[in-house]
Amino acid sequence: MNRRRWGTVLIALGFALIFWGVIYFLEVGNGPGWGPTRFADRPGYDQVKVNLHSAMPGLVLRALAGWLILRAGWRIRNRD
C-alpha cells in the first residue's frame, strides 16, 4: 500500500472515530434506540444532564483519538 492510500485510510478512520464519539454522546442523551416515543416516557432534564456529564470523558477520548489519527493520516498523505 502506498503512502498516499495509507494516509487516506487513516483520515477515514479518524473521521469514523469522531463520528462514533458523537453518535455515542447523542445516544446517551436521547436514550437507547430511537428514544422515547411518548412525551411521558422522556427522561427528565436532570437525568439527561447527569448522563451527558458522565459520557463526556468518552466523547473527549474518542474525538481526540480520531483527531490525532486524522492528523497523522493528513501528514502521511501530504508528505513529499
The pLDDT assigned to 12 comes to 97
DSSP 34: T
Range of the domain at 12: 3-78
- At 25, is the secondary structure helix, strand, or coil? helix
Q: Tens of pLDDT along 14-69? A: 999 999 999 999 888 887 777 777 888 888 899 889 999 999 999 999 999 999 99
The C-alpha atoms of residue 33 and residue 35 are separated, in whole angstroms, by 5
Categorize the per-residue pLDDT at 80 as very low, low, confident or very high, splitting at 50, 70 and 90. Answer: low
The C-alpha atoms of residue 53 and residue 71 are separated, in whole angstroms, by 27
φ, ψ of residue 68 in degrees (nearest 5): -65, -40
Total domains in the fold of the chain: 1
Using N-to-C axis directions, what is the helix angle for 3-30 and 45-78, rounded to 10°? 180
The pLDDT assigned to 56 comes to 95
